[in-house]
Each structure stands twice: as structure tokens, then as C-alpha cells.
Amino acid sequence: MSVVAARPEVTGFFDKRTFSIQYVVADPATRKCAIIDPVLDYDEKSGSLATRNADRILDFIAEQDLSVEWVLDTHPHADHFSAAPYLKEKTGAPTAIGDRIVEVQELWKEIYNWPDFLADGSQWDKLFAEGETFAVGELPGRILFSPGHTLASITYVIGDAAFVHDTLFMPDSGTARADFPGGSARRLWASIQEILALPDETRVFTGHDYQPAGRCRCRS
């Protein structure tokens, strides 16, 4: 007899500038939730920051009477800043990322000649190890190590939902690039096979929708 995985409520928030999809993952039983890969708005012409994306998420959370338990990043993003620190300030929820972030930070420290940079992951409250478990309300979560796009990429498996961000895109866009420092097409392929080996009922949520050839945006 197969065990049916818990089913979180998943709501996506699309950022038009970076084609990124941010997620609120909620336990319907407890009304507790996690925010995954929130975008901090950045205007490259003026160098100014804004919190439009994050505030839209906060408005939704308030409307739905949700309580934030986690603010989660799947990996360090090259195309946008993370709004995790801002959301922690607003909600009090801890921030987290995979523990291999320290390896990426060591690369950055050397590449950008930044000797004072703290390459210890202390910018987040929690560094998840491969296979580690956590919870969102009563929903079970676990960490699937998914390197290839970056050294630190992870997949959050929460109930029947897998949040893969750049590891897999929409079917008409393929997979992430693997040419960042520490990236590997071979490791990316292996990570994709692990994701595809998850139970058939698993819902896969990607972190981008680039809408090639003008295709309409997919909605979660």
C-alpha cells in the first residue's frame, strides 16, 4: 500500500524583470508557510534597491492569515539579489540555504579579490546538509543536493512538491546553464536524474519561466 505524500498549498509570484518565480508553500492544516527564493528588486541603471516583490508576498501572507516559518534560498542567484534578509526582518522567520554555499563563497572571495568577505555562510541562519529534514507546519520537508548549476544548489522537497529552481526549467526551455564557477554539466545531469526519480505524483516547481517564442506564462 503506497503512502500518499502531504500536499502543500503552493502559490507562485512572478518577477517580470528576471523571469523568476518565487513561492509561498503553506500547510493547509496549520496555516504555517515557507517562502522560497524571494527576489529583491534591483535597478541596474540607478543602483537602487526596492522590495516590491517581497511586499507583494507579505501582503498575500497577511491576506491568507499565514505564519512564516522559513525563508529559503535554493542557491546563490546570479540574476537577482535575495530578499531573504528583508523578509526575516519583517516576519522574524529564520533564513536558510544549503551548506555548500561556503564553497561558492570561497570561489567568490578569490575571484573578486575580497579578502574581508565572510565565506562561512553566516549570512543565513541555517545551512542545510544533504538529506537533512525539516518541517513547514506539519508538512515534512527534506533537502536534495542538486549541484551542477552551482556548487550549492539544492532542491526542497516539501510534501509532494519539489522546488528545483534552476536545475530544471519549463519543458520548452530545458535546463540551467552550468558555466558558472564550480558549475558542471555532468553533475547537473546527475541531479536531474535524482529529481526525475522522485515519486510519480511529485509536483515539480521551477524557479524561472522565460516564455520562449512569446508563450504565455505558466501559472502555478
DSSP-assigned letters across all residues of 34-89 = EEESPEEEEETTTTEEE-HHHHHHHHHHHHTT-EEEEEE-SS--SSSEE-HHHHHH
Nearest to 174 by CA among 139, 206, 134: 206
Domain boundaries, the chain: 9-208
| Percentage above 90 pLDDT, the chain | 60
Task: Write out pLDDT tens, residues 27-52.
Answer: 999 999 999 999 998 888 888 899 99
Nearest to 27 by CA among 139, 160, 143, 134: 139
Secondary element (H or E) of residue 135: strand 133-136
Task: Write out pLDDT tens, residues 49-102.
Answer: 999 999 999 999 999 999 999 999 997 866 668 999 999 999 999 999 999 999
The whole-number pLDDT of residue 1 equals 46
Task: Give the β-pairing of 39-43 and 32-36.
Answer: unpaired
Query: Does position 22 have pLDDT exceeding 50, yes or no?
Result: yes
Q: Give the right CATH number for 9-208 from 3.60.15.10, 3.40.50.170, 3.90.650.10, 3.90.550.10.
A: 3.60.15.10
